[in-house]
A and B are shown apart, each in its own frame.
Chain A
Amino acid sequence: MKSYSGIGLRHPHYSAVLAGESKVGWFEVISENFMDTEGRPLHILEKVRENFPIGTHGVSLNIGSPDPINLPYLKKLKALIKRIEPYVVSDHLCWGGTEGKNWHDLLPLPMTEHTIEHVVQKIKQVQDILGQRIALENISTYLLFKEDEMPEWEFTKRIIEEADCYLLLDVNNIYVNSFNHGFDAKNFVREIPAYRVVQYHLAGHSNLETFLFDTHDHEIIDPVWELFEFTVNQIGPRPFIIERDDHIPELNVIEAEARRAEQIIEKVIKPSRGRNEQAELSVHQSV
């Protein structure tokens, strides 16, 4: 079993995964797809969980919304966590609706001191209720607010540090945003505190010429692979998943991408293994 490589568990692959045809090390599931069901989806998830670690990845935490924390939602999420015991619980650094209504979208936040204060306080509440740290993912965005007071990497870093939560670093989203807003993707990665990163996402996107659209319906392009290699070099190896939500191909096609990512990690680890072990030793000694 490869320890780092994972894919998003999607309906078309259920039978292949249950038949033991998958070669990845873990799966990520969309939390909301399993929070309201006691039928086949949950049964499948429990079967998969018997053999694989699972990460739950939400899309409706709505952490940046002006709305207060949605307690019934968190109660259901907590029940799912208790049932599945995921290795990581994640959602997105975004908002998705106001006044109790949901656009079912990952919408950009104004990157301001006021937003940081608000989001940090909400993350702390969520973590208190769930009794554990969560990871938040950097999202793809298409527009920036005039009122933004800082770049995305600073906004992201401040929130995860001040809220004491983890970061799910989506490498494709960094690439998409760097194109859409004209910044240096590598600089974004350099600014991220490595010890906060618990997971990577890799995905394809659509090129609409004047901007990139994060569609998860294409293969990963070479510049994103290159950015992934840079990221692993900079931050270190972490569990990752290949996301595919539309035009979902056969399992072996997605797993080929997972193998490529695994190879990149192996390439990075090998020459630096001695250095990493030395660093790890230093940490233990200082504790």
Chain B
Amino acid sequence: MNKRNFPSIKAFDQGIREYPVIPESLFKQPPQGNIDERFSIYGTGYSVRSREAMEEMFVVLPKLMGDKLWQELRIAYTLAYRSTSHNIADVGLKLPNYIRDEGFEERWAEMAELEVLAMKSFHAKRGFTLTLDDFSKISEDVRFKFQAATILFSSGFNCAAAWLNRDIKELELVPEYSIIFRKDFSVDIRILSENEFEFLNHLQTGASLGEALDRLKKQPNAEEFSQWIRTSFENNYFSELRRDS
């Protein structure tokens, strides 16, 4: 046996993957008890830890799916995806893709996606906070840099509403536009009109204030526009203002 290949570690690794089949021949007989019960600590460890991490990341989705379906999904996902991250908290990041790839309902994928984005917002880098003084500098040619924690999200289901109101029991098929943002260190979500969503989306993709307004299918009235800008500042969506010149 070539020791350079670390056969014992590789066989141990395979043993965890193939649990409850146990690589008994690798181990000495313990002074009390047996190899099987002791190996179960290693064989079940990943499943236990990934469940804890996923239940921290996904709070709304399990409630909407119901425990039985959620556990089925979680276990299947855990078996299909092994973590490549150094952080166990990342273990659920690929769940939205998995839900789609495996043909689960799209509404679950979108809810999972929203919760993943909320977590990304929570950990995102904090940029400068614009002040009321910056608010007064706004003109048509100004462009906005968004905070890394500010994420626009559109869905075919009422995912943001379910995130905001935990009493909602079912996801409904309804177009929904929202923005995930962080004030201080708390993540929040606002549901937007389609028009406000498009406006912010244009700004986020680099349009100036004037360009973003021009590109809208429906122009907001002055009061509506003023409200959009005021709310954006109040909720700290932006980290910087720029002018082309």
Interface on A for B, CB 8 Å cutoff? 32-33, 35-41, 43, 60, 64-66, 70, 73, 76, 95, 97-98, 100-105, 107, 109-110, 112, 114, 118, 142-148, 180-182, 208-211, 213
Q: How near does chain A come to B21, taking the closest CB pair, in angstroms? A: 15
**Contact across chains for A104 and B30 when beta carbons are under 8 A apart:** no
Partner of A146, one of B27, B34, B89: B27
Partner of A60, one of B6, B8, B86, B91: B86
Partner of B31, one of A35, A101, A105, A181: A181
Q: How near does chain B come to A155, taking the closest CB pair, in angstroms? A: 14
**Contact across chains for A211 and B33 when beta carbons are under 8 A apart:** yes
Contacts of B32 in A (CB 8 A): 210-211
Interface pairs (16), CB distance under 8 Å: A35-B87, A60-B86, A66-B5, A70-B86, A97-B13, A98-B10, A105-B46, A114-B3, A143-B35, A143-B42, A144-B28, A144-B30, A182-B31, A210-B32, A210-B34, A211-B33
Contacts of A213 in B (CB 8 A): 41
The CA of A33 and the CA of B148, in the complex, are separated in Å by 19
Contacts of A70 in B (CB 8 A): 86
The CA of A147 and the CA of B2, in the complex, are separated in Å by 13
Partner of A110, one of B9, B30, B41, B185: B9
Nearest residue (CB) in B for A183 is: B31
Check if B38 is an interface residue, CB within 8 A of chain A. yes
The CA of A38 and the CA of B4, in the complex, are separated in Å by 40
Contacts of B85 in A (CB 8 A): 102
Q: How near does chain A come to B228, taking the closest CB pair, in angstroms? A: 26
A105 touching B42 in the complex, CB below 8 Å, given contacts A39-B185, A211-B37 = yes
A181 touching B30 in the complex, CB below 8 Å, given contacts A39-B122, A66-B6 = yes
Contacts of A144 in B (CB 8 A): 27-28, 30
Check if B215 is an interface residue, CB within 8 A of chain A. no
**Contact across chains for A143 and B30 when beta carbons are under 8 A apart:** yes
Q: How near does chain B come to A279, taking the closest CB pair, in angstroms? A: 38
**Contact across chains for A43 and B42 when beta carbons are under 8 A apart:** no
Nearest residue (CB) in A for B127 is: A38
The CA of A38 and the CA of B49, in the complex, are separated in Å by 24
Bin the interface of chain B by size.
35 or more
Nearest residue (CB) in A for B27 is: A143
**Contact across chains for A35 and B8 when beta carbons are under 8 A apart:** no
**Contact across chains for A33 and B87 when beta carbons are under 8 A apart:** yes
Check if B25 is an interface residue, CB within 8 A of chain A. yes
**Contact across chains for A146 and B10 when beta carbons are under 8 A apart:** no
Nearest residue (CB) in B for A118 is: B6
Check if B210 is an interface residue, CB within 8 A of chain A. no
Partner of A43, one of B30, B50, B185: B185
Contacts of A33 in B (CB 8 A): 87, 89
Nearest residue (CB) in B for A108 is: B12
The CA of A32 and the CA of B147, in the complex, are separated in Å by 24
**Contact across chains for B84 and A98 when beta carbons are under 8 A apart:** no
Check if B109 is an interface residue, CB within 8 A of chain A. no
Check if B26 is an interface residue, CB within 8 A of chain A. yes
**Contact across chains for A110 and B33 when beta carbons are under 8 A apart:** no
Contact digits for B125-144, partner A, Cβ 8 Å, 1 yes 0 no: 11000000000000000000
A142 touching B3 in the complex, CB below 8 Å, given contacts A38-B124, A60-B87, A102-B84 = no
Nearest residue (CB) in B for A32 is: B87
**Contact across chains for B86 and A32 when beta carbons are under 8 A apart:** yes
**Contact across chains for A145 and B38 when beta carbons are under 8 A apart:** no
Contacts of B58 in A (CB 8 A): none
Nearest residue (CB) in B for A104 is: B88
**Contact across chains for A180 and B122 when beta carbons are under 8 A apart:** no
**Contact across chains for B9 and A109 when beta carbons are under 8 A apart:** yes
**Contact across chains for A105 and B33 when beta carbons are under 8 A apart:** no
